Structure 1
Amino acid sequence: MNLKERRRKLIAKIKIGQKQLGLDDATYRALLLRVAGQDSCTKLGVLGLEKVLAELTAKGFAPAAKGGAVPKRRQSADAMLRKVEALLAELGYHWNYAHAMARGMFKVDRVEWLNDAHLHKLVAALQIHANRKKREAGHG
């Protein structure tokens, strides 16, 4: 994960923590200023963001577990499921996203229940999405 992605994920967690702890904007900005010396996450680097996240955790913020369990793998699908997992990680998504795609594309609730042909199509769709996301971010 590159620095930009790391910052984005930290900011997202901090915003979730702000909401979970019920901090109004003034209280939230005061916490940022006290902990990291800035009144906005966008002005902070990774270290500052990590300090803020640690402070929110100390105040009782409990980040939710990663979304979606890793599916059980049958041998014929193992390589494709590893590819799905790698693409999800690259996109910053959880397994629940892939399960939702399986439901939307094939009316199958779980990725591990897809047949091999459907798994190939799911990987292709994820790869297209990843390529589009890279292009939109100016990386390709």
Structure 2
Amino acid sequence: MVSASLIAARAAQHTQLIRQIHTAKRDLGLDDDTYRLTLARFAAGKTSSKECSIAELQAVIEHFHESGWPRPGGQARKPLSPRQKKMWALWQTLADQGKVRNRRMVGLLAWIAGQTDNQVQRLEWLTPAQEHTLIESLKAWAER
């Protein structure tokens, strides 16, 4: 027989994991469709976090961490290289011009993934040639 305190602890953990998932959804800038597809992928087809088991919720959170959402305790973020800073500055310029909707890093990374043949997910994975091409693309976009 499972004690009432164990049931309460599991319920509290479930609620906490759901809160973390909703925070990650907001921080990563996920739209509702993308969020629900992610849940379905890691939670056996379930599209509501309330329906997920604790293990399924933990799998979704781990995916969010692997997608760039910071882990608790905050791993130190690497400083941006000069080329990465240039891309970031151009992205902010585009946001100021109203040409991009998501001015956060997750928006820039999504754009980069769409622009690169190998769908690069992180700035540090870009080659120097890719960095150069992306910077020139951002400059041309800003000038239009």
Normalised by the shorter chain, which TM-score bucket? 0.3 to 0.5
TM-score by length of 2: 0.43
More helix by share: 1
TM-score (norm 1): 0.44
